[in-house]
Structure 1
Amino acid sequence: MLDSEMSHLRQSLGREPTETETAIISAEWSEHCSYKSSREHLRILPRDAPYVISDKGLDSGVIDVGGGYVVTAHIESHNHPSAVEPYGGAATGVGGIIRDIMSAGTRPICILDGLRFGDIEADRHAAWLLRGAVRGISDYGNCLGIPTIGGETGFDPSYSKYTLVDVAAVGFGIRERLIHNTAGPGDHIVLLGGPTGYDGVGGAQFASERMDEEDRSAVQIPDPFMEKMVMEAILKLRPYIKALKDLGGGGLACAASETADALGVGIAIDTDAVHTRDNNMTPPQIMASESQERMLAIVDDTGLAHIREVCGRFRVPHSIIGVVNDTGTLTVRHHGTVVAELPASLAAHAPPLRWPSKPPTPGEDHTTIPDQNDYTHTLERMLGGADCASRNWIYSQYDHEVGIRTVSRPGQDASVLRLDNGKYLAVSMCGSPRHCHLNPYHGTMGCFEEACRNVRCAGATPVAMLDHLQFGSPEDPQIFWSFLQSVRALADYSKHTGIPCIGGKVSLYNETDTGPIKPSPVILVLGLADQNFRRRPIRDGDALYIIGVTKNETGGSSYHHHTGTGGGTCPRVDMVSSTSNGVAASSLAGLGTIHDCSRGGLAVAASRMCITSDMGCTIDLDAIPGDVPHPGVALFAESHSRYLVSIPYNHTKEAAHTLGEAGVPHARIGTYGGASIRFEAGATPVCNVMVDKAHNTWSESLERMIHHG
């Protein structure tokens, strides 16, 4: 805690805090748990829509998807722990996000992960972190029987000696079975799940400061088999649970104080009743431990009887550790003595911190990349580079079909799940740190729009967003300015599109002795469709259309990264065009195959379509809508709101009519056929890559880097 915060605590209590009270407040007022630097600024994010369900104390966002069903979603990170011990850090990150979904009374149906590492082409430590994190996510999710259906992975030197491990989960359930979080005097406080131990003590504080040294005691120990039993027991107990909360960051200290504050009640806890791994644990350790696979439930007398019966059946350890009262106070007793007595509202609300902000200098320089003679070699390098290479090695470690809901596998623009009400849920997670580093406002809006584009490619309509905002120290005015710009961008795009923010996470102090990470917001978008639009196979003679305008925007692009070029203009989102182009593209979902134009630009997007269909294509760069100075910009600019659509040769008139009626910029730019991916300008070839060579380069490069550098 800061000296000013300790003074505020003393003044509020009118006395010196006890050791246990200090431990509780240190956890609850950590940046990780309190959002004291960001909370006031997040209020500008639109959160309301007719289908959004808001309840006090929920750990996940909830939307009504019709037919009496709901979808829940949440996103979290485990960055510091994963940088110390990637397997355990990533695995327990999955466990925590699953319990957030369970706390609403819904069954988790999928996991997504967003991963960031250092320069894997040269940094063996980055490769070690990647292998450990992927294995941790895979082992934990596979043991639970929950598919990992998608996500995204990126590499940048700013993550040297560090990693970002973002984990999102989606749940599904019946609306009438939601746990609505209520409590009254006399209700029982039950701690169920694994025993409380020393692992993770101080984890919230560890995640709230720069990682100057490794603290392995702050890394929790995963037990997915206990999590599975807890999950099944909770789902059986739903009708009898009045309130439910995950014990995540800050452990019992945060779970108890936040629950009491949200429900307007008091909670009295007896630490002697907590089942622990070590009988010598002190009250501060018991309250601040972040041991995993634990949940806090509130039940009445009838519910308590059911907990005993169900937990016994599933062999889930549980303890009756306290009682609800009407004092509005969190009281902790140890050996019959009161060791903490804090107003719940005081504990749950850290005094806000207001940091100065200022834009960095210099910003964008708006330079144009120079033309070159060998775009074929450049494209081949990009397809084989860590930025654009296939992520198949990563998602092949995951079971992405368990649960039989998955209808679109990882590797597509969006992953798609079948829901029980006949609808389909499309999910996409996106981030672009280099764009956000160049211009945090337009870069963040671009992340949001790209996730929406991916959902549109599946023929779905975006209905909800969750954000995860990851930055360095907020005490740096330039970093805090970047954070504020990112929040403003999300709010502006959300207001324009009507897509509400239903949840999220802020993670600050992501830096080591080598410096801060690049601004790294990650956006998760959920979309709904009334049918499953299966991708049509591309055949010889089919046409390739582009929707959207290509602009002279190569700043922060993969092309710049691979050629070592700096500066340039960060791509901007035109919010009007974004909406109209997206609606037009999704209207073609039943007619052709849609792929968004993003990382690597048109050249990489078109190449991926050719690689996955084992079909060549000839593309006329002169036909592309937009005013670009030379072929390099046409090939590699990452302008937003663009889609590639392959249309069967006998449906081109229908597609042209649909796009013409929509009034969006579009053009037929290519025809499929042959064995090469050929780009022409003025009938002159400027880039020509054989499909089989591109396939081998794209599909094998990342695995080779991971294992051999």
Structure 2
Amino acid sequence: MAEPTPKQIKDQKLYQQWGLTDSEYDLISEKILQRLPNYTETGLYSVMWSEHCSYKNSKKVLRKMPNKSSRVLAGPGEDAGILDIGDNQAVVFKAESHNHPSAVEPYQGAATGVGGIIRDIFSMGAQPIALLNSLKFGPMNNGHTKHLVNEVVAGIGGYGNCIGLPTVGGEISFEDCYEQNPLVNAMCVGLLNNVDFKPGTASGDNNLIIYVGAKTGRDGIHGATFASDEFTDTKNKQRSAVQVGNPFIEKLLMDACVEIIAKHPNWVLGIQDMGAAGLVSSTAEMASKAGSGLVLNLDKVPQRETEMTAYEMMLSESQERMVLCVKPEFGDEVIRFFKNYELDAVIIGRVTSDKQYKIYHQNILVTDIPVDSLTEDVPEYDRAEKQPARIDQDKDYHFIPEVNSLEETWNKMLRRPNIASKKHFYQTYDSQVKANTLIRPGGDSGVVRIRGTKKAIAMTNDSNSKYVYLDPYVGGQIAVMEAARNIVATGALPIGITDCLNYGNPENPEVFWELDQSVQGIASACEAIDTPVISGNVSLYNEYNDVAIYPSPMVGMVGLLTDIDDLMTSDFKSAGDLIYLFGKTEDDFNGSEIQMEQLGELKGGLRDLDLNRERLHQDLIRRAISQKLVKSVHDVSEGGLAIALSESAFDNHLGFEISTGLTSAQLFSESQSRFLVSVAPEDQFKFEKLIQQNFECLGKVTNEPIFNVKTANEAVMIDGKKAATNWKEAIACSMK
């Protein structure tokens, strides 16, 4: 079938189907090219100018994020961010969303999300060391949700396990608003010797562009456009936009790329993975960043399907592919090197100095456009903002739960899907491959040691979208600080974050206000604890039939543990140890799990977060750990103190005896800036002298798994074994 002519594309407005607006098409044809773009060129602009690739709706907001510190070696703009960790070593990390593909083809959507984020790490020259994920689904009583969860978890495990990387942390939550639009955010962390860093640039006249990896097929065409549109009952269930992954090819590609950069650094000038928007995105971005042009010959591109057009090859998002910029004298050696790994490696073009992007197919020039027009000339939108009416209407509403039976409420809360053990899911993942994992899934953070040193990297991802829905600014701050508490609880120092910003349609003023406010909240929290935002992505248009998800920023944080002898875990260690609550508990029930349990809806405002107090508490806990004054540390978050106490007791089948001035209801408060700590009796004086204020000695750890609890209004004995069973088996029972 013949491709539409440039005039037909204009007259029939075919570009609209690909996500370009009338004004964007006019800008391209009248100002940039001063002619009508052909079919291939229109396709290139449509993917490169999509929100997923260009951030045209969110750039204004993203500039509010801090992205500098003394550790930052590379920040936003590269495939991943890099932070110096001393000894000429660096940690490299990034998170990406794969929401729309996972809604349509959950196994491949999740698997290729993992594959793509791994490539972002090794394209920097780094060795990937660990994976994490943040998942959000609809209610668990729904067959559709169960299918999505099972397939997404299988896809993550299937890809990560096959490639030999441990999945060491993550989170899963369930809310009604994600039923038709699940969120699948993947994060990867890698290690880099500083000298091995390779930028994603293509520079130097006549240097070679080499295609490496799997062959190109027709999968994933318009994946970037697909990710920049919303779902309805009648559109966007296109499976053709979902990529298909092969972890065994990715393993070869990963090992080859890491080796060639480490052993032959002078061969490779630049490297980038073919992710969203495939070949066009990787090559155009590399040239634009270097101020160069490119000539590509698509007849050289390895293809796994017959009669592929230039449009299809350029827009395909087939997985496990990389682009290298190589000096001509090393071209043959690079090709031989990858052939030894049984990978395709082909010269498909060369760098030019004219800043033009030229593509030949079957000896015909099918594209001739300024390279910067794909990356730099994208219009940047200043969207209208409007605070949703609910914010002012409900700000003075204060939910107070009714706890008539503490034992009954305690067990009911442990069974809530957002609180119950997620082992049913994460046992699918290999968390110990490579034998460097010090803290596995289920702890406050995953921790992976750096072989040959005493250092370790702590990593976590956190997202409480219920708070962000009630107050985007404070909710954004909480997302950062909860991640930081999870890092600090292991003894590590938070050093930087990546993020996935998941929201609805930015053209809706209320959605854009949520995005803007929560980013400002994230920025203020990051500045308070010196954790720059060094990478991330934006995922907008997460809607179904015009109903948006909760605003859902995910914060992926990395921390540095300089001495693994200081590693701390959250489980109580031995009977007789004293139990402390550090931090002030107030009636913070708006946005809490107990509000959803008892009221069934989100309502009310949030208390302002005291960033100075938060920073002080984190610093004191790290000092207590390094001075060996504590035996366990656990962040108090979802479900409050009752849940934190339970989780700390479960691992070693212990119990506790506590007495507190808090009410039974306040045991489920979700006040911020709190830690649950156990201390050996002989260290009580030193610990209290260090902390000084905002602490309560609740009681002690006991040998028997009995929870003996006295609150301001009742005294109960809770069977710890029964509580553990409720917590451990709730998800498995729900998934049956």
Q: TM-score range by the shorter chain?
A: over 0.9
Partner residue in 2 for 1:36? 56
Contact 2:60–2:382 at 8 Å: present in 1 too? Answer: no
Question: Match for 2:315 among 274, 277, 288?
Answer: 288
Contact 1:438–1:556 at 8 Å: present in 2 too? Answer: yes
Distance across 1 between alignment mates of 2:671 and 2:356: 54
Distance across 2 between alignment mates of 1:563 and 1:684: 20
Matched, 1:545 2:568: no
Contact 1:56–1:180 at 8 Å: present in 2 too? Answer: no
4+ residue runs over 4 A deviation: none
Change (3 A) 1:441 1:534: closer
Contact 2:96–2:117 at 8 Å: present in 1 too? Answer: yes
Matched, 1:79 2:99: yes
Question: Match for 2:436 among 402, 405, 412?
Answer: 405
Question: Match for 1:234 among 240, 244, 257?
Answer: 257
Distance across 1 between alignment mates of 2:362 and 2:67: 45
Question: Match for 2:594 among 546, 549, 559?
Answer: 559
Contact 2:95–2:187 at 8 Å: present in 1 too? Answer: yes
| Secondary structure, counterpart of 1:587 in structure 2 | helix
Distance across 1 between alignment mates of 2:445 and 2:125: 26
Partner residue in 2 for 1:279? 306
Contact 1:242–1:298 at 8 Å: present in 2 too? Answer: yes
Contact 1:544–1:670 at 8 Å: present in 2 too? Answer: yes
Contact 1:273–1:320 at 8 Å: present in 2 too? Answer: yes
Post-superposition Cα deviations, 1:149-196, rounded to whole Å, max 9, x if no partner, equal 101111100011221110000010211111134520111111111111
Question: Match for 1:585 among 606, 614, 621?
Answer: 621
| Secondary structure, counterpart of 2:389 in structure 1 | coil
Matched, 1:631 2:659: no
Distance across 2 between alignment mates of 1:647 and 1:555: 31
TM-score by length of 1: 0.96
Partner residue in 1 for 2:8? none
Distance across 1 between alignment mates of 2:345 and 2:67: 36
Partner residue in 2 for 1:600? 639
Question: Match for 2:612 among 563, 576, 585?
Answer: 576
Post-superposition Cα deviations, 1:640-682, rounded to whole Å, max 9, x if no partner, equal 110000112332222212212xxx4112112222432233224
Partner residue in 2 for 1:222? 245
| Secondary structure, counterpart of 1:524 in structure 2 | strand
Post-superposition Cα deviations, 1:594-638, rounded to whole Å, max 9, x if no partner, equal 00000001111111112223111122230x6xxxxx431x21111
Post-superposition Cα deviations, 1:223-263, rounded to whole Å, max 9, x if no partner, equal 00110111111112211211111111111111111111111
Partner residue in 2 for 1:250? 277
| Secondary structure, counterpart of 2:552 in structure 1 | coil
Partner residue in 1 for 2:182? 163
Matched, 1:616 2:655: yes
Query: Alpha-carbon deviation of 1:366?
Result: 2.9
Partner residue in 2 for 1:523? 555
Distance across 2 between alignment mates of 1:465 and 1:678: 39
Distance across 1 between alignment mates of 2:529 and 2:575: 38
Question: Match for 2:79 among 46, 59, 77?
Answer: 59
Gaps of 5+ in 1: 625-629
| Secondary structure, counterpart of 2:512 in structure 1 | helix
Matched, 1:357 2:392: no
Question: Match for 1:424 among 448, 456, 459?
Answer: 456
Change (3 A) 1:688 1:388: farther
Partner residue in 1 for 2:164? 145
* Matched letter for residue 509 of structure 2: P
| Secondary structure, counterpart of 1:104 in structure 2 | coil
Change (3 A) 1:55 1:150: closer
Change (3 A) 1:135 1:554: same
Post-superposition Cα deviations, 1:66-101, rounded to whole Å, max 9, x if no partner, equal 111111001101100000111000000000000000
Question: Match for 2:416 among 367, 385, 388?
Answer: 385
Distance across 2 between alignment mates of 1:219 and 1:699: 35
Which of 190-199 and 529-538 deviates more?
529-538
Matched, 1:481 2:517: no
| Secondary structure, counterpart of 2:414 in structure 1 | helix
State the identity as a percent.
34
* Matched letter for residue 597 of structure 1: V
TM-score by length of 2: 0.92
| Secondary structure, counterpart of 2:541 in structure 1 | coil
Contact 1:58–1:103 at 8 Å: present in 2 too? Answer: no
Distance across 1 between alignment mates of 2:64 and 2:568: 38
Contact 1:603–1:636 at 8 Å: present in 2 too? Answer: yes
| Secondary structure, counterpart of 1:521 in structure 2 | strand
Matched, 1:98 2:118: yes
| Secondary structure, counterpart of 1:248 in structure 2 | coil
Partner residue in 2 for 1:211? 231
Contact 1:237–1:306 at 8 Å: present in 2 too? Answer: no
Partner residue in 1 for 2:471? 439
Matched, 1:319 2:346: yes
Gaps of 5+ in 2: 1-19
* Matched letter for residue 123 of structure 2: S
* Matched letter for residue 498 of structure 2: L
Query: Alpha-carbon deviation of 1:393?
Result: 1.3
Contact 2:359–2:367 at 8 Å: present in 1 too? Answer: yes
| Secondary structure, counterpart of 1:33 in structure 2 | helix
Distance across 2 between alignment mates of 1:113 and 1:181: 25
Post-superposition Cα deviations, 1:201-236, rounded to whole Å, max 9, x if no partner, equal 011111101022311101111100110111111112
Q: CA RMSD in A?
A: 1.5
Query: Alpha-carbon deviation of 1:537?
Result: 5.0
| Secondary structure, counterpart of 2:696 in structure 1 | strand
Distance across 1 between alignment mates of 2:727 and 2:330: 55
Question: Match for 2:545 among 513, 516, 519?
Answer: 513
Matched, 1:128 2:147: yes
Q: Aligned pair count?
A: 695
Query: Alpha-carbon deviation of 1:565?
Result: 4.9
Query: Alpha-carbon deviation of 1:370?
Result: 4.3
Partner residue in 2 for 1:466? 498
Question: Match for 1:195 among 212, 215, 220?
Answer: 215
* Matched letter for residue 501 of structure 2: L
Distance across 2 between alignment mates of 1:375 and 1:565: 19
Contact 1:446–1:571 at 8 Å: present in 2 too? Answer: no
Partner residue in 2 for 1:186? 206
| Secondary structure, counterpart of 1:146 in structure 2 | coil
Post-superposition Cα deviations, 1:94-147, rounded to whole Å, max 9, x if no partner, equal 000000001110110110011010001x11111110100111010101111111
